[in-house]
């Protein structure tokens, strides 16, 4: 490896892009030619050499493609000879104004979270308090980015344009200014808390109102509660994915719901009515004669809300589970009388039905 760019910037190889930028800014300010007043000619020349090394190292490591190539092969684009620190592949982006040569301010991103609720809360609507991490205007420097007596000035290297040009033979190449990272501005005495970023990360507490009928997997958008954008002064949004806890009685398929209901032999053979708990209250379902184990019956409109905007609902699909009675010892079946049989599963279902209905009270 011809040059150790990580060593030049004084960082570890595993450093993140965000932290890399912070460390680069510190060194760039320290060795910037405009900051060498009062030093000897020899010291200024040494600072100028160091400043160029820092910018060249950051130019490589701040670009995801270049960094990967450098980590793999120890150099970038054949050591970048003849291209002013850029690989041949970057020349195209510099001509078109895209990629590394473009002057685009990074924008703050939305925050995406996930919270879980049970379907009873979703059916009736509820409120949840959440705590998350978000960028806010730095309280130490009041969002200015610099400390006491610090200031923001027009970059002397690019004249505030955010880009510099270099002549390579017949070509004039345009690159992001390494002194100001394309912002057109430089900062003296950056804030020790936000390192000139104007924002710092803090805990944010938010009480979210989840409307009734909000379906599993849908995203609830909360405006202006995300990351603070120091350029626009606005906040991004918080996008919350709502998920349901697994339930021990119901299953969901969008607005439709499913459950299982046990029946005895007599009901399966001759038909009848069975009480079923639904989120709308208890309902009777008609069991046709000759119903088999595993048959699916439907209670129309007894499922979940189709949307948060109306009161229409999906259906409840009931799977019939045929239960065999518990036969007493000594009963040989000569006189078939179902009233003498005990259905433990039906008693359990009756108790479960009461529990489900009580949850909605």
pLDDT tens digit sequence for 181-235? 788 888 788 888 888 888 999 999 999 999 988 888 899 999 999 999 988 889 9
- Fold for the domain defined by 251-359: HSP40/DNAj peptide-binding domain (2.60.260)
Contact, 360 vs 249, CB < 8 A? no
Per-residue pLDDT of 276-331, as tens digits, reads 999 899 999 999 999 999 999 999 999 998 877 778 899 999 999 998 776 665 55
Spell out the domain ranges in the chain.
5-81, 251-359
CATH of the domain spanning 5-81, picked from 2.20.25.240, 3.20.20.105, 1.10.287.110, 1.10.10.10: 1.10.287.110
- How many CA atoms lie less than 13 Å away from 290 in the CB half-sphere? 0
Residue 245: helix, strand or coil by DSSP?
Answer: coil
pTM of the model: 0.56
Tell me what pLDDT residue 338 has.
57
Contact, 90 vs 99, CB < 8 A? yes
């Amino acid at each position: 490896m011809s040059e150790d760019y990580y060593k030049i910037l004084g960082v570890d190889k595993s450093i993140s892009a965000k932290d890399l930028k912070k460390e680069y800014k510190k060194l760039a300010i320290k060795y910037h030619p405009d900051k060498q007043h009062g030093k000897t000619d020899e010291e200024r020349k040494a600072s100028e050499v160091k400043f160029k090394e820092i910018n060249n190292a950051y130019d490589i490591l701040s670009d995801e493609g270049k960094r990967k190539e450098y980590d793999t092969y120890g150099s970038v684009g054949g050591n970048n000879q003849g291209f002013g620190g850029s690989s041949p592949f970057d020349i195209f982006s510099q001509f078109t104004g895209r990629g590394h040569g473009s002057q685009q301010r990074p924008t703050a991103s939305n925050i995406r979270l996930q919270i879980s609720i049970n379907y009873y809360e979703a059916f009736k609507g509820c409120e949840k308090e959440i705590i998350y991490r978000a960028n806010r205007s730095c309280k130490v420097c009041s969002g200015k980015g610099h400390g006491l007596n610090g200031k923001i000035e027009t970059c002397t290297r690019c004249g505030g344009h955010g880009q510099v040009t270099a002549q390579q033979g017949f070509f004039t190449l345009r690159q992001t200014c390494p002194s100001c990272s394309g912002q057109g501005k430089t900062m003296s005495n950056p804030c020790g808390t936000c390192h000139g970023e104007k924002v710092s990360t803090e805990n944010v507490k938010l009480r979210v109102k989840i409307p009734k009928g909000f379906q599993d997997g849908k995203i609830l958008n909360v405006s202006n509660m995300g990351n603070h954008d120091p350029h626009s002064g606005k906040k991004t949004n918080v996008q919350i994915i709502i998920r349901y806890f697994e339930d021990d009685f119901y299953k969901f398929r969008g607005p439709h719901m499913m459950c299982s209901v046990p029946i005895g032999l007599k009901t399966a053979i001759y038909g009848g009515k069975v009480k079923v708990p639904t989120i709308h209250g208890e309902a009777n379902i008609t069991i046709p004669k000759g119903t088999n184990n595993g048959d699916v019956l439907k209670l129309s409109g007894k499922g979940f809300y189709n949307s948060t905007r109306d009161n229409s609902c999906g259906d409840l699909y009931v799977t019939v589970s045929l239960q065999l009675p518990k036969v007493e010892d000594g009963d040989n079946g000569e006189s078939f009388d179902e009233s003498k049989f005990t259905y433990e599963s039906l008693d359990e279902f009756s108790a479960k039905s009461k529990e489900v209905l009580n949850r909605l009270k």
